[in-house]
Structure 1
Amino acid sequence: MRCVLVINPAAGGGISAVVAREVISHLRAVCDVRTVLASDPGATAAAARRAVADGADVLAVVGGDGAAHLAVQACAGTSTALALIPAGTGNDLARGLGVPLQPIAAARAAATALGEGRRRHIDLGKIAGGGWFATVLCAGFDARVNARANRMRWLRGQRRYDVAVVRELIGLHAMPLRVETESGTTELDATLVAVGNTACYGGGIPVCPDADPTDGAFDLTIVGRVSRLDLVRILPRLRTGRHVEHPAVCTLRARTVRLGGENGWVAFADGEPQARLPLSMRCVLGALPVLL
């Protein structure tokens, strides 16, 4: 088995040499490993594409959700399995796949899976005219929170998202949203919409609590027109997934989704900016081989 290990040394505030050595040691115990240091997104994307083009059996990535998103673009639809070794702020794809959230524990688990030949395929979202996403695509209030959190380098972890939420509440207002699926069309004034392949975004917030990346369909969560006070009351429920019980929240399941409306919203997927609505996407069954 041939594995390419891509390490982002700056992830999570900096990967220590001790952690890097431990990760490499666990993987080398079961397979041939080539290690690549990639300190920026461009280098990470290039290393991931090169690993797949060279026919690597496994692409292992040490980093956060940004690095995972780039690795997904390279591995989708190929025979190269993705192994996640989370070392970032949110680590939402790792959560969705049940990967240990500590790098050394994740490397140990990946080595065990490699030795036993354990891999599976999960679904991915494919954006029309764009790339793939593995976790959640969102637009509206939560996308603005995501964008603000990405700019806040002076905070780390969940506090970054919490502060961003408070700042974005100031400008909260509902906008027209049109959601088209294979089952019909929903039009309403909405605060946010989330299309989930997995359950979580924002560092473990289960916005689409029942999303399953192996069922061939998205779970959608839509929050309609709410006041700032209503949203403040809903937000704590996000931590438990009970926000879906609020009367202003509706949920859908669909294989194909088109989001539109006169709202000017920019969609984020896997925490990365995509394009302004309208935007279409489909759930592709078993598109990504993963090592678990």
Structure 2
Amino acid sequence: MRQFTAIVNPTAGGSAGAAALLRVARLLREAGARLDTEYSRSLAHAQELARRAGEDGRVVLAVGGDGIAGGIGGALSGTGTLLGLVPAGRGNDFARALGLPTEPAALARVLLDHAPRMVDTIEVESAVHPRTVVLGSVYAGVDALANRHANRSRLLRGSASYYAGGLRAVATWRAATFHVTVDGEKHTHRGYTVVAANSAYYGSGRMIAPGARLDDGLLDVVVIPEAPRRLFFTMMNELKTGAHVARPEVRVLRGREITVEADRAVPYGADGEVDAVLPVKARVLPGALAVLT
């Protein structure tokens, strides 16, 4: 019988994290599993708690959204510790990519009985930001600005906050020249955004990279060039299905190591948490994390 340590982000969706955990915890305990709960004071504290639980041989449950999932998953990358997710955040995109059920009984069965899946993680480095490891994607340009607006929204939640943040970001964005190096080959374009994706989803269910796979050892690099704003707004709607990648204006590259630079100070982010400025380097770590799914 698996033994669990749940780490709750008390700020993810207000009280949603604690409520989501309670529904699943009852089922785990009824099945005979032991479950301890820890509340994090910060992402760094959550990572410390996760490492400690992993060293004790426990399954670590990340309770919250993509920020805590990515932070804890990154901390456990390469350690062999099992990670489980209890989605309770604004986006839950990594849980979506894993195909995790949202119904508590089905999720409890996954956590109790299912075999782990080995998935890739992403090592991220920049000159002014320490090395970190994330799960879903690294994004630079208008996406990072949109995510910043969404995280600061107090009136909207979920996909509505990301959509509103995207509209605000696009309305004020001026194109930048990006230099994207993929496995040593340099590509230059002027435009809106570059996303290095391990997961198909970001921004609360938007399918930025429909061909991305969590366990193929590659990052899908989606490049969206300069275009009239009305076309970009159209592409924002196409992100619901991934149809944007069929447009001739959109490029999709694939590689193991990606460097993104720009001709001015352009923000980048990762898994909804990292908020810094280019340049940035992202490198895939194949099969580095064991996840219950």
Do residues 119 (structure 1) and 120 (structure 2) align? Answer: no
Match of 1:251 in 2: 252
Match of 1:276 in 2: 277
* Count of aligned pairs: 287
Kept after mapping to 1: 8 A contact 2:141/2:192: yes
Which shows bigger deviation, 102-111 or 58-67? 102-111
Q: Cα distance 1:17–1:219, how it changes in 2: closer, same or farther (>3 A)?
A: closer
Q: Cα distance 1:273–1:285, how it changes in 2: closer, same or farther (>3 A)?
A: same
Identity across matched positions, percent = 33
Deviation readout 1:210-232 (Å, 9 max, x if unpaired): 10011000001100111111211
Question: How many Å separate the matches in 1 of 2:13 and 2:140?
Answer: 26
Match of 1:189 in 2: 190
Kept after mapping to 1: 8 A contact 2:17/2:63: no
Q: Shift of the alpha carbon at 1:43? A: 3.9
Q: TM-score w.r.t. structure 1 length?
A: 0.91
Match of 1:203 in 2: 204
Question: How many Å separate the matches in 2 of 1:211 and 1:43?
Answer: 30
Question: How many Å separate the matches in 2 of 1:143 and 1:73?
Answer: 20
Deviation readout 1:4-39 (Å, 9 max, x if unpaired): 122234432313876443322222325332222336
Kept after mapping to 2: 8 A contact 1:11/1:88: yes
Q: Cα distance 1:286–1:18, how it changes in 2: closer, same or farther (>3 A)?
A: closer
Q: TM-score w.r.t. structure 2 length?
A: 0.91
Question: How many Å separate the matches in 2 of 1:16 and 1:259?
Answer: 34
Q: Cα distance 1:75–1:165, how it changes in 2: closer, same or farther (>3 A)?
A: same
Question: How many Å separate the matches in 2 of 1:21 and 1:90?
Answer: 20
Question: How many Å separate the matches in 2 of 1:43 and 1:125?
Answer: 21
Q: Give unpaired runs (5+ residues) of structure 2.
A: none
Deviation readout 1:92-149 (Å, 9 max, x if unpaired): 1101111113455423421232xxxx11210011113511111111010111000111
Question: How many Å separate the matches in 2 of 1:16 and 1:251?
Answer: 35
Q: Shift of the alpha carbon at 1:174? A: 1.2
Q: Cα distance 1:7–1:176, how it changes in 2: closer, same or farther (>3 A)?
A: same
The structure 2 residue matched to 1:36, chosen from 35, 38, 52, is 38
Question: How many Å separate the matches in 1 of 2:21 and 2:242?
Answer: 35
